[in-house]
């Protein structure tokens, strides 16, 4: 019985790892009510759904760059000081680091920081991505039972390389907002979040090696609902 349970657990972990590799990266903020307390560690597991609309959904040229999809993710954060934490997150075939700072006292904090990321494009080929996000969030923590966060996220991303037969060099600017809620008790919380971003992508695409690149410029909205579970150690 124990060996069967162990095999099932290993199979679940393996399936999750394969899903992480196969899906497009989509990073929720899961900011919580403040930074992780000093000396404590937060482990989170969940998924986010990227839903592009407008030009981003309809333009075939941008499919390897700005497509939608479901991406499971996992993250770890550790409090290194009273109002500072460090973290690492994986989503799809990308990884993101976190450095966050909380300003304020009592129930309400202003959380900001820097979150650079690197990764691979979700399509076949050699498509790489690099970028970063700056959050500016108002976070509320009520007795570690309810946590609410709302605010702005500013980001930039550059993708380059080959996707199938296409040679791609695109830069995206992302501006938007996020609202989230965590409910639980002390160590364990359920998190839900919705991000709404405007993305502007500019760059060039060439579908024939050695041929002249054609310029591309598209913009549109992206909705990102996400859910997760968080354990504080």
The Cα–Cα gap between 9 and 22 comes to 20
Q: DSSP letter string over 145-162?
A: TEEEEEEEEEEEEEEEEE
Residue 85 sits at the vertex; the CA angle it makes with 25 and 88, to the nearest 5 degrees, is 25
- What share of the chain has pLDDT > 70, as a percent? 78
Region 69-96: mean pLDDT is 91
Residue-level pLDDT at 103: 92
Residue-level pLDDT at 64: 53
Higher-pLDDT residue of 214 and 220 is 220
How does the average pLDDT of the chain come out, rounded? 82
pLDDT in tens, 146-174: 999 999 999 999 888 877 677 788 898 99
75: its two tokens = 């993250």
Higher-pLDDT residue of 25 and 193 is 193
């Amino acid at each position: 019985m124990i060996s069967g349970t162990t095999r099932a657990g290993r199979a679940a972990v393996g399936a999750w790892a394969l899903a992480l590799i196969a899906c497009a990266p989509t990073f929720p903020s899961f900011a919580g009510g403040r930074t992780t307390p000093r000396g404590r560690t937060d482990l989170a597991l969940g998924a986010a759904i990227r839903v592009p609309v407008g030009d981003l959904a309809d333009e075939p040229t941008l499919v390897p760059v700005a497509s939608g999809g479901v991406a499971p993710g996992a993250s770890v954060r550790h409090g290194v000081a009273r109002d500072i934490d460090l973290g690492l997150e994986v989503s799809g075939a990308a990884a993101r680091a976190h450095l966050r700072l909380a300003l304020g006292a009592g129930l309400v904090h202003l959380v900001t920081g820097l979150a650079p990321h690197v990764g691979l494009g979700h399509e076949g080929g050699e498509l790489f991505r690099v970028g970063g996000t700056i959050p500016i969030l108002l976070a509320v923590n009520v007795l570690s039972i309810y946590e609410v966060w709302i605010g702005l996220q500013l980001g930039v991303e550059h993708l380059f390389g080959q996707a199938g037969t296409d040679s791609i060099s695109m830069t995206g600017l992302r501006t938007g907002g996020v609202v989230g809620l965590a409910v639980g008790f002390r160590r364990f919380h359920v998190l839900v979040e919705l991000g709404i971003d405007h993305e502007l992508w500019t760059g060039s695409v060439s579908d024939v090696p050695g041929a002249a690149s054609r310029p591309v410029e598209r913009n549109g909205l992206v909705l990102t609902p996400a859910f997760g579970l968080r354990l504080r150690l």
